[in-house]
Amino acid sequence: MRKVHVIGSLVLALAALLPGQATAASDALPSWNDGSAKRAIVEFVEKVTKPGSPDFVPVPERIAVFDNDGTLWCEQPVPVQLYFALDRVKALAPQHPEWKTKEPFASLLKGDLKTALTGGDHALLEILMATHAGMTTVEFEQIVKDWLATAKHPKTGRLYTEMVYKPMLELLDYLRAHGFKTYIVSGGGIEFMRPWTERVYGIPPEQVVGSSIKTKFEMRDGQPVLVRLPELNFNDDKADKPVGIHQHIGRRPIAAFGNSDGDLQMLQWTTAGPGVRFCLYVHHTDAEREWAYDRQSSIGRLDKGLDEAAAKGWTVVDMKKDWKVIYPFEKVKGE
C-alpha cells in the first residue's frame, strides 16, 4: 500500500508540473459556462484533494462513477446499442429466413421499429439475444469495433463515438488529473462499451460496469474460447446499479454522475457513505443542440431523480445554460 500511495502522489505532483496539465478549473473545464454547476464540481474536487483538509480523501478511495447513455453520450432518439442491434438483425437476416414472418424481427426488417417494440421487454430481449449471443467474446468485440467504425447517427450523420459530450470528457480528465479513478456504470451492455471506452473516454475495460449475458468456457480445436450465451447474466440498472458497483469495485464511490431515474439508486448509494460526497444529474434541456426531455420521456426519464436532487441539494446541469458546447465537433457560439 505504501508504495501505491507514493506512486500516486508522484503522479499528481508530476501532473502539476507538466505543461498542459494545469488543473486550474478555468483551464480544465473550458466547455463549462461559469455557474453553480461548474462551481460545485470544482469546490468538491478541491475539498477532497487538499492535503490536511478535514474532507481529504486518499487517492485509492477517489472513485467516481458515470452512467453512459445520456450522461457521457447521446441516447436519443433511441439508445445507440439499439441501432447496433437493428443493424445486426439486418446483417444476420439472410441466415434467418424465418425472421421474415416472425415478430419482432419482421417489423424490424421492414424498418418499423415502433411495432417491433410493442412486444415490450420480451421483444427487446429477443432482439438482444439474437444479435449479441452465439459468438465468442473475441468475435463480438470485433463486430462492435467494425460497426462503430462506419455506423452514423441518423440525426447528425456523425459516428456514434463523436456523439459524446465534450464537457463530460473534460470532467473525466479533470477528475483523473486529481487522482480519481473513473468508472462507467451503465445499463448498456458491458461488452458493447469496452471495445471503445478507453479510446473515447480514457476509461479502460476493467473500469466499465454494465449489463451482461452469460458466457461459457469451451475448448475449440485445442484453443480456449468464451462463448456468449443467449441468457441474461446481470441487468445493471436502477436498484441493481449499486449491486454492480459493489460487485465490480468493492468500495463505495465518492462521486456519481447520471441523467435518469435509472441512476437514482446509484446516486443514493454514493451519498450514503461517510464524508463529503458529490452527485450530479445531467438535465437534457437543449432541444436545439441536443434534445430536451425529462419527466415524460420513455427513454432516459428523469422524474423522481429531479425531485430528489432538489431535496438533497445535488447538482443539476442545465445543458442549455451550463454547457458552451455539447459535442466535440460543434462550434462554440461567437467563435
Name the segment binding its own copies (CB under 8 A); options: 25-33, 86-94, 104-112, 188-196. Answer: 188-196
16 lines the binding site for its own copies (CB under 8 A): no
DSSP, residue by residue, 20-86: T----HHHH-TTBPSSHHHHHHHHHHHHHHSTT-TT---GGG-EEEE--BTTTB---SS-HHHHHHH
Crossing angle of helices 36-49 and 166-177, in 10° steps, is 20
- Nearest partner of 65 among 230, 267, 262, 327, judged by Cα: 267
Residue type, 315: T
15 lines the binding site for its own copies (CB under 8 A): yes
162 lines the binding site for its own copies (CB under 8 A): no
Taking CB under 8 A as the rule, which mask of x and - marks residues 102-141 in contact with its own copies? -----------------------------------x----
Q: What are phi and psi for residue 18, nearest 5 degrees? A: -70, 140
All residues at 6 or more sequence positions from 234 whose CB lies less than 8 Å from its CB, including other chains: 211, 212, 240, 244, 247
Name the segment binding its own copies (CB under 8 A); options: 74-82, 93-101, 159-167, 197-205. Answer: 197-205
Q: How far apart are CA 163 and CA 175, in angstroms?
A: 21
Among 46, 126, 162, 198, contact with its own copies (rule: CB under 8 A): 198
Among 247, 304, 307, 312, contact with its own copies (rule: CB under 8 A): 247
Residue with cell 447521446: 74
Name the segment binding its own copies (CB under 8 A); options: 64-72, 93-101, 111-119, 208-216. Answer: 208-216
204 lines the binding site for its own copies (CB under 8 A): yes
Please work out the total of residues on this chain that contact its own copies, with binding judged by CB under 8 A. 47
In whole angstroms, the minimum distance from the beta carbon of 224 to its own copies comes to 5
Q: Give 126: exposed, middle or buried? Use CB within 10 Å, 0-12, 13-18, 19+.
A: middle
Residue with cell 415490450: 120
Output DSSP code: residue 227: E
311 lines the binding site for its own copies (CB under 8 A): no
Q: How far apart are CA 22 and CA 83, in angstroms?
A: 39
Our CB check for its own copies shows the closer of 252 and 283 to be: 252
Q: What are 185's strand-pairing partners?
A: 209
Taking CB under 8 A as the rule, which mask of x and - marks residues 43-72 in contact with its own copies? -----------------x--x---------
Among 212, 259, 260, 315, contact with its own copies (rule: CB under 8 A): 212
Crossing angle of helices 80-92 and 120-132, in 10° steps, is 60
Taking CB under 8 A as the rule, which mask of x and - marks residues 248-267 in contact with its own copies? xxxx-------------x--
Contact residues toward its own copies (CB under 8 A) are 1, 3-4, 7, 10-11, 14-15, 60, 63, 137, 173, 176-177, 181, 190-191, 194, 198-199, 202, 204-206, 208, 212, 215-217, 223-224, 226, 233, 239-240, 242-243, 246-251, 265, 268-269, 272
